[in-house]
Structure 1
Amino acid sequence: MITKDKLIKIMDYTLLRPAATKADIAVFCEETIQYGFKTIFVNPYYVSFASQLLKETGVKVGVPIGFSLGGATTKIKVAETTEAIANGAGEVDMLINLGALKSKEYQAVERDIAEVVKASQGLTTKVIIETALLTREEKVAACSLIMEAGADFVKTATGFNGGGATVEEVKFLKSVVGDKLGIKAAGGIRCYEDACQLIEAGAGRIGTSSAIQILGGQKVNSLY
């Protein structure tokens, strides 16, 4: 079983609810400090605010790009990334262009990822592929394109488009990428045991909005 201290270090604590208020973000940041999370994720609008609240703590503020559908143009994703970094973002999770991937427009998909990686200026970049929406062949293709584009992680899901992280899915992704990419498991992680099993299966990061409940041993219905 993974210790709580180790789990905290690799948890990306998230607050991406569309209706989250500034007050919600402030409480969220207080919780982050209290529990010792190393990385959080908030929507682009709140990156600057969260960064200011956490500027003396060493906590990285991550940002989702092209969230939560992935269908924005590359130019928009790059602009979103550039602005977020200017506002204090320290990590980037982008959503792959699912429509282009399913259309087998692989050059466009790779370019989309590569341009965001370039705009990320060396920051850790993860690419969300929404495993529940892809065939095995498409997952393999997505991982190959992510590696070629120079991103750091493949991520299972947003939690907003169905599906999520499973042990079987993480094992499959690990069999595809080996040590060439990290794996971030996110979406539907409901308890401490789930998180530990996902790490043992090959995940190097856990993304969840229910980190505190999970650490407290509660069973939750996690979106992200």
Structure 2
Amino acid sequence: MKQPVDFQKFFDHTLLKPDATREEILKLCRDAAQYDFASVCVNGCHVRFAVDKLKDTSVKVAAVTGFPLGAMSTKTKSFETKNALENGASEIDTVINIGALKDGRFDYIQQELIILSTLCHRNRAILKVILETGLLTEKEIRTACILAERSGADFVKTSTGFNGPGATVEAVKLMKRVTGPSMKIKASGGIRTLEDARAMIEAGADRLGCSASVAIMEEYLQESPVS
């Protein structure tokens, strides 16, 4: 199959719906391996299966924790993260405690994220912090980015795709302005076309969380065939 050099590595090929079957996860992994995506992003119960199916590829396995609400206790998020890492996940996408952010309980959020980032880094994994930007003010997005950066997280991520609006160019640009080169940005939620993908990358996204990754790649390859 004709392949671009780098474009495919923007994609976290994602399947997080609650009724996802084993057969659908298998297809997700096969597609990710075929297109050489950066990772597959799955719920915790599918991590070990995905790791096994992708063991002979360069595709990583990302697991979501505290998903999709972010309102679990720190202890619960820690256990879920530890379990996903033990099952072979090399990336963790966790949801920030949105209510605590709106309450101004910034110490609580930072301590929780420090615990999770420490767990990840001890296991040579990376931590992405989902902000759910569609539910936040500009000031809250700025604050969340700063807290994630101070906690040692590797990425800030726009959205779960389950609560409120998904990724917007404006949110990605704001996150990039706040974090600068110190963190990476993942845009997720509602990215369905090549035009969407390019807009997010241009705005500063380093990763794209997509369930439409294959369709976007096919659109890219038809436009830019590799000889």
Query: Smaller-chain TM-score range?
Result: over 0.9
1:127 is matched with: 129
> Aligned to 1:183, what secondary structure does the other structure show?
strand
Which residue of 1 is the match for residue 31 of structure 2? Answer: 31
For 2:139 and 2:35, locate their aligned partners in 1 and report how far apart those are by CA, in whole Å. Answer: 40
In the superposition, the TM-score normalised over structure 1's length comes to 0.93
What is the deviation of 1:4?
Answer: 4.7
Please list the CA deviations of residues 137-165 of structure 1 after superposition, one character each: whole Å capped at 9, or x if unmatched: 11111011001100011100011102111
Distance 2:25 2:5 in 1: 23
Residue 25 of structure 1 and its aligned partner are, at CA, apart by 0.8
Unaligned runs of 5+ in 2: 221-227
User: Which residue of structure 1 lines up, in the alignment, with residue 212 of structure 2?
Assistant: 210
CA distance in 1, matches of 2:192, 2:26: 24
Contact 2:81 2:92 in 1 (8 A): yes
Query: Unpaired segments of 5 or more residues in structure 1?
Result: 219-224
Residue 37 of structure 1 and its aligned partner are, at CA, apart by 1.2
Query: Identical aligned pairs, as a percentage?
Result: 45
Aligned to 1:182: 184
Match of 2:225 in 1: none
Is contact 2:36-2:58 (8 Å) kept? Answer: no
Mean CA deviation greater in 27-36 or 99-108: 27-36
1:72 matched residue in structure 2: 72
- CA RMSD, 1 decimal: 1.4
Greater Cα offset, 26-35 or 63-72: 26-35
Residue 115 of structure 2 corresponds to: 115
Out of 113-122 and 64-73, give the one that drifted further: 113-122
TM-score, normalised relative to structure 2:
0.92
> What are the equivalent positions in structure 2 for 1:8-19 lying under 5 Å apart?
8-19=8-19
The structure 1 segments of at least 4 consecutive aligned residues displaced by more than 4 Å after TM superposition are none
Which residue in 2 is equivalent to 1:163?
165
For 2:176 and 2:127, the matched residues in 1 are separated by: 17
May I ask how many residue pairs the two structures share in their alignment? 216
